[in-house]
Structure formats: structure tokens, C-alpha cells
């Protein structure tokens, strides 16, 4: 468990971004980085709140509901 570490989140983001760029994915418009816990359901439906104080964005499903095609 990474205990909602911002450092670990940024490390993962740093490693995934070059991979997504190599696939020609539009990084500036096409990626929202969201910390989640699929195992515990954290930040999937409900905001994570004080558990992850460095993240102020929406939970995953709220973000998905707001996507437009």
C-alpha cells in the first residue's frame, strides 16, 4: 500500500506520461490524473477528502459523468 502518497502518485504519473506520449495520446487535453484505490473503492464514487489532502479534484465517476464526446 502506498498510503495515498503524493510522491508515489507523481512517480507513477512521471513513468506513464512518456508511454502515453509514445502512443500519440493527446496529453494536454486527453489525460486527467486521479488517485484512486480500486481495492478499497477510494475516490471512485465519493471524494477522498482528508485521506488524500493533496488531491482536490473530483472522484473518478464524477469525472467520467462529465466527459463529452
What are the pLDDT digits (tens) for 7-48? 999 999 999 999 999 999 888 777 899 999 988 899 999 999
Other beta carbons within 10 Å of 26 = 9
Q: Which residues contact 44 (CB under 8 A, 6 or more apart)?
A: 36, 37, 38, 59, 60, 61
pTM above 0.95, yes or no: no
Cα separation of 52 and 40, whole Å? 14
Cα separation of 45 and 60, whole Å? 7
pLDDT at 62: 96
- Residue 60 predicted with pLDDT over 70: yes
pLDDT at 1: 60
Cα separation of 60 and 22, whole Å? 25
Which residue is it, cell 473503492? 41
pLDDT at 38: 85
Amino acid at each position: 500500500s502506498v498510503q495515498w502518497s503524493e510522491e508515489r502518485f507523481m512517480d507513477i504519473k512521471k513513468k506513464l506520461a512518456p508511454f502515453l506520449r509514445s502512443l500519440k495520446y493527446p496529453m494536454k487535453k486527453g489525460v486527467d490524473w486521479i488517485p484512486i484505490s480500486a481495492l478499497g473503492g477510494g475516490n471512485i464514487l465519493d471524494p477522498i477528502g482528508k485521506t488524500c489532502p493533496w488531491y482536490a479534484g473530483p472522484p473518478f465517476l464524477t469525472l467520467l459523468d462529465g466527459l463529452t464526446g
